[in-house]
Structures are given as structure tokens and as C-alpha cells.
Amino acid sequence: MTIAEVAKRAKVSISTVSRTVHRSGPVDPVTAERVWRAIEELDYHPNTAAQSLVSGRSRMLGLVVSDITNPFFPELIHGFQDVAFHHGYDVLVNSTNYDNSRTALCVRRMIDRKVDGVAIMTSELDRSLTDQLSSRKVPLVFLDVGKVGKGVSNIKVDYAQGIAQAVDHLRALNHTRIAFIGGPSSLKSARLRRDAFLNCLRERGVEAHPDLIEEGNHKIDGGLIAITRLLQRHHPPTAVLASNDLTAIGALRGTRQAGLRVPQDLSVVGFDDIDMAQFTEPPLTTVRLLRSELASLSCNALFQSIRGEMEGAEFPMGTHLIVRESTAKAAGRLVPLAATATESLGSEI
Amino acid sequence: MTIAEVAKRAKVSISTVSRTVHRSGPVDPVTAERVWRAIEELDYHPNTAAQSLVSGRSRMLGLVVSDITNPFFPELIHGFQDVAFHHGYDVLVNSTNYDNSRTALCVRRMIDRKVDGVAIMTSELDRSLTDQLSSRKVPLVFLDVGKVGKGVSNIKVDYAQGIAQAVDHLRALNHTRIAFIGGPSSLKSARLRRDAFLNCLRERGVEAHPDLIEEGNHKIDGGLIAITRLLQRHHPPTAVLASNDLTAIGALRGTRQAGLRVPQDLSVVGFDDIDMAQFTEPPLTTVRLLRSELASLSCNALFQSIRGEMEGAEFPMGTHLIVRESTAKAAGRLVPLAATATESLGSEI
DNA sequence: CCGACCAAAGGAAGCGGTTCCAACATCTCA
DNA sequence: TGAGATGTTGGAACCGCTTCCTTTGGTCGG
């Protein structure tokens, strides 16, 4: 089924067929009607490879994520694809497993495929790679990393906003020993979240106690291990803020394994607000980072770049606290302690 | 960067470049060396659209899933992409939201893109659509639905195996009132699971009590609602088998909301064994349907068809029970009942 | 010494479209 | 009535690559 066969059947030239299909030039309505009928009868669909070859574009978008297995990303992909699909675009998805070289390879292959743009929703990229990618002429959109430039945009998430809300929420509940379970420090987004937490405390005149900062892996098991260590501290925390919801879920489980109850004995706050968060036991108080917004923001940024409506820009994105049931008033004392009672709780969080 | 520029730099013809790149014809080693150097220096990558146009194939695979938001699928996609990636293939993923017409559209678009094969891992397809798709010349692999034919394969999951193990496990724990929360009955895989359960009971000489069969939606909220209804029955179940893990997680939560404990008051068994299952509270006893196996089975089936090594075949896939902590010996009586004590528990499950 | 054979390399025809440009018919207005 | 404007249509180049076929030049055997 080629355009030539349609042309023959409609008794016109292939140029005319092309013109009527794309409405890209004058065609007599009567002729057009004949062409459409031929197309219908033959069930003709243009060969996208040919179109791609001649036009240099493919009506495909690339989407690179760190870990498709983390529920955050499927929800993001879902939204991204929806937007793309409605524009008649297909999406080439790749999950890199936090592997920088794989990211480079993925993007390279996508570019070879002449994708019209690629969204790189991983934040473990090193600068040299982002620069290298930016130098290609393909519209790009990064998440948090990435220097805005010609055709390259960046979604800038305001982690501080939601984290401040979380910290204030916890402090209002009389929590003074608030721990933090971060993500892998190799991850830019994880560092940003941790730093936002640290800064937030500092702004409020308290210093984070190093004992109360743990590093997880942004997965459930990491959260479980981290909370276990935290609860074994001489002065365990009364509340914990996790770098993402998976980590928080691990913390929930670890707390229960330690024989403690959430939120009576320990308050837990997550980050992301994945769908699952409302169904944990207890439902998770968490900072919402709206995937659907992230998805449409990034996808639309790409489309704007593609249409040449924009040179590349920075898109701010807010976060805010969703209070559910995993946080409550701090208990007087988490576990009976043999330790001295002379410590100054107020200043070590 | 085109093949012509490489040819010019290496002072050979484009035919020679093509031949050395694909090792598809005799090239003098000395010449080849020159060509490779030119390729390197120019950082040449072939235009895949052009290759696709001339060869009629794209080195892309299509993967259609029902709901990327269900953790079952990301894990499947992950495995599928891994296999594809190592063969130098890219994957076009699409989530259809259980929408039949969208599935049709997706596959249509994939075929337009000349994908070399497509895996349709949704099971809500109606027969007319599968037949229509099968009639195209693209290798296809279905999950459960799908009639094997020239170039079309089918993964046949043996649901009965795992479900029988689950039922026997529960019966060994003295459970006689075993409920079942199914998926939407419009879903073939959901029907298969429910039927496997019903048959299993029948084989063991017991008849399922209609009161103990509920329909969920394969999501958490559906499981929660279903278990709530189940627990309000005159004779509530002492154990429940869910059609997938998400449903089981909902059941876990619903049970706790009802003030009951798992597994002391109610045993819960899931299906799929998603990663999350080992981290629920309590860890979920569930029937494992290995995504990685499903992924490699389907991806490899496609490759075999592509290479013409196979005409289309049926691939069997087993399931088996993973016992964790959400199941335990049946309690004598779930809740004090005012009801008659004359019912014959043995025959109504 | 010459024809046959063979390896290596180049030329050119497509793959299926888009698009620029020329050709042609009609129509308008001086 | 004829020149130019306008509206439709067809022809052909080109996108970048693969592949078939031809050419070239050297080697070998008779």
C-alpha cells in the first residue's frame, strides 16, 4: 500500500494525494473527495519511515526515566504518553537503572531515530553528559539538572516548599528530633531533597543532628534498613522524613518490625505522593509532587520547542504537603531510656 | 552526517562504506580501516529512518499493556526492554487503560511505524480484534488471548497450578470459607483466574458459595471495597484469595479498617507477586507469576518469529505459591455470631 | 601470451514519501 | 481579444541508505 497505488486508483498524481492528505496545497474539492475515497478503500496509511526520512522528524518523543519499577515513574510515563498520544506522537521509553552510561546510550539511540524531542527525567546525569546532549539540535527537557539553553528546558522542582511544610507540620506536633532518610547521594534529586531539609532546619534556627541523617536507596528495602538503624540510636527520632514514598513505606514496615506503632510512636512523612501512599497502613502523610503536572509540563515544553515557539525555558513546579494518618503528636518519650535526661532536645533535630 | 560524507572522507564510494559497516560484502582490510576511521572521526551514525525505509523493518518492537500504573506491568516492561535493548532493539510502549479501541489504535500506529513485532500483554481483547491484528504480517505475541497461527504466538499462563496450591495451602490451614475477589469480568485474565479458582474447588468436591465471590477492579480501592462487603456477610470468610496483588493489598487494608487482623482473623492470598508484596504488612502470601519470565518469553518469541525460526507457537508458563505471613491457621470463629450453628461449613466455601 | 576468473570497488536504481516548480486551463479586465 | 492573474495538477528532484550489477585490474593456468 503506497501513495502511488492511491494515486492510480484516484486517477491523480502522487503530489495531489500528498497535498490532499496534508491539506498542504490547493486541491479541487471534487478531486480531494476521490482521493479520500481511494485512501479509504485501500486502507492506506503513509509509511512513517519515508515521511521521517524526507522530513527529518519522526513524530516520536523519547522519555528516559531512572527506574520504571519505582511507582513514581509509571505514573509519570502515563501522563506523558497521554499528552503525546493526543498530539499524534508515539513515545520511546527507556529505563536506565540509574546507569549514566546507559542513559547516554539511550539518548544517542533515540537521536539516531530522529525523535523530535527527549525528556530526560532522571537526575543522576553528570554535567558533561547534559552538555554533550544539549549540543545536539534535538529539543530536550531535563528534570532539575540541565542548564537552560537553545531548545533545552528544565523543570525546576521546588522541593523546599513541600519540605518546609512537612517540617513545620511536624514541629507543630511537638516533634523536635526529626530524622531524614535520603536517597543515594549520587542522585541529584536526592541531594536536592536532603539539602532542602537541612536548609529548612537551619532557617528555623536548629541544626540537624548527623545521627539522624541516613542514606537509603529510594527503594523499600533501603528505607527499612535505614529506619532500623535510626531506631537503634541512643536518642531515636520521634519523626522521620523520607526522600521518597518507597523509602517511607520501608520505614513504615521497619517501624512495625521494631514493635513500634506509626504514628503513635513515630511519625513518618514521605515524598512524591505515589498512588500507593493513600493505601499504606496507616495512610502516608507525604509531600506531593504531581506526576501528571510534571508529565504535561515536560511534554508541552518539548512541543513548544519543536514548534519553535520557545527557545528553552525553566519551568517551576511546586510541591506541597498532604496530611494523612502517619503523623501525630510526638510522644513524650519513645522508649524508656536508661540514658541521661540532661540532653537539650530543643537544639538537636 | 551522511554516508556520503563518510565515503568522501575515506575516499571510497558509499557502497563500500555500507559494505564495511554491515560486513555485507568483500572489502579490503586496508580500505575498511580507512572507512572505520572516517566513521569514528565524523561520529557517523546511520539514519535509521532511511534504513527502515529501504529494509522495511525498524529494529523496534511494540509493547502494549493494559495499565502501566499497575506495578505488574512496569516490572514486565523492564524485563522486556532489557531483552530488546541487548538485541539492539528499541521498544514502543503503550498503556491502553483497558480500552479496546485504544489498543487497536496503538497497534495500528505501531504497525504503521513498521515495528518488527508487537507484544500485546493485555487480555481484554475481543476476538475480532485479535483476528484482525493477526491478519497483518507483523509477528505478534499475545497473553492468554490469541489463537496461535503464522507468526502469532501466545503465552499460556497456567493459573490453575498456583491457585490450586493456594487453595490447598488454605485448606491445610483448616480454612473452609474461602472467598475470592476477582478482577473486572470484562478482563479475560480475570475470568481465567476466577474460573481456575472455581474449578479448583469443584475438583476438591466443594462448591463455591456465591456470597463469597466478589468482583474488584484489579486496583487497591476495588479490593478494599470488596473485602468490606465480604466481611459484612452473615457468614464472613476466614480466608480470601485475590485476583491480583493490588486487590489483595486493598483487602489487607480493608480488613484492618474493619478492626480485624491478618492473618489471625483472616488469611489473605494475592496473585502476581509484585515486588511490593514482600513489603506489605504483613508480607503477602501470593501466587507468583514471574514477570521476568513472561518478558523474556514474549520478547524471545517475537525475535524467533522475526528471524523466521518459528511459525508461531504456544508457550506455557507456570505459577506457584509463595508463602509469606498473610496466611495462618483458621480461627475457630471469626466474629461471635448470633446465627444458627447448624450450617454445614464443609460444603460451602 | 592471452582468456578466464576473482576480488574489490563504484554506479545507479529504488524504498515511499514531500515539495518545489513548471504546465496548463480558466477567468478577468483593460 | 489578448495579456496577465489565478487555481489545479503533474513532473521530478531529493531525503539517506541498501543492494544488485558492472567495471576494473590483477592472478593464474593453459
- Which nucleotides in chain D lie closer than 7 A to a protein CB? 7-12, 14-20
What confidence score (pLDDT) does residue A100 get? Answer: 84
Question: Which residue's alpha carbon is at the shortest distance from the C1' of C8?
Answer: B27
What separation in angstroms does the CA of A135 have from each of A131, A188, B173, B242?
Answer: 6, 21, 64, 51
- Nearest by CB: A78 against B69, B75, B220: B69
* A20-CA/C24-C1' distance, Å: 20
Nucleotide nearest to B25 (CA to C1'): C8
**Please, what is the angle between helix B220-231 and helix B245-257, to 10°?**
50
CA distance B195 to chain A (A): 28
Rounded mean pLDDT of B228-250?
96
User: How far apart, in whole angstroms, are the C-alpha atoms of residue A289 and residue A75?
Assistant: 11
Question: Which residue's alpha carbon is at the shortest distance from the C1' of C14?
Answer: B54
| DSSP string computed for A269-330 | EEEE--GGGGGSSSPPEEEE--HHHHHHHHHHHHHHHHTTS-S--EEEE--EEE--SS--PP
What would the pLDDT profile of A64-106 be if each residue is shown by its tens digit?
999 999 999 999 999 999 999 999 999 999 999 888 888 888 9
User: How far apart, in whole angstroms, are the C-alpha atoms of residue A118 and residue B304?
Assistant: 31
* B113-CA/C15-C1' distance, Å: 15
What confidence score (pLDDT) does residue A329 get? Answer: 95
CA B108 to chain centre: 21
Rounded mean pLDDT of B196-224?
93
User: How far apart, in whole angstroms, are the C-alpha atoms of residue A96 and residue A337?
Assistant: 46
Q: B81: which chain A residues are within 8 Å (Cβ-Cβ)?
A: 93-95
Is residue B213's pLDDT more than 90? Answer: yes
With a CB cutoff of 8 Å and minimum separation 6, the contacts of B236 are B177, B230, B334, B335
Rounded mean pLDDT of B273-296?
95
Give strand pairing partners of B214: B181
- Nearest by CB: B49 against A58, A74, A77: A58
What would the pLDDT profile of A43-60 be if each residue is shown by its tens digit?
999 999 999 999 999 999
Q: Are B327 and B108 in contact (CB under 8 A)?
A: no
Is residue B241's pLDDT more than 60? Answer: yes
Helix (H) or strand (E) holding B233: none
Q: Are A243 and A190 in contact (CB under 8 A)?
A: yes
Is residue A337's pLDDT more than 60? Answer: no
Rounded mean pLDDT of B54-80?
95
Residue A16 confidence class, pLDDT cut points 50, 70, 90: very high
User: How far apart, in whole angstroms, are the C-alpha atoms of residue A196 and residue B333?
Assistant: 52
What confidence score (pLDDT) does residue A343 get? Answer: 42
B263 preceded by a cis bond (ω within 30 of 0): yes
A 84-143 near B (Cβ less than 8 A): 85, 90-95, 108-110, 112-114
What would the pLDDT profile of A169-212 be if each residue is shown by its tens digit?
999 999 999 999 999 998 888 999 999 999 999 999 988 889 99
Nearest CA in chain B to A78: B68
Q: Do A112 and B81 touch (CB under 8 A)?
A: no
> Chain B within 8 Å of A222 (Cβ-Cβ)?
no
Q: Kindly report which listed range (A153-167, A230-244, B288-302, B333-347) carries the lowest average pLDDT score.
A: B333-347
User: How far apart, in whole angstroms, are the C-alpha atoms of residue A240 and residue A269?
Assistant: 6
What would the pLDDT profile of A206-233 be if each residue is shown by its tens digit?
888 899 999 999 999 999 999 999 999 9
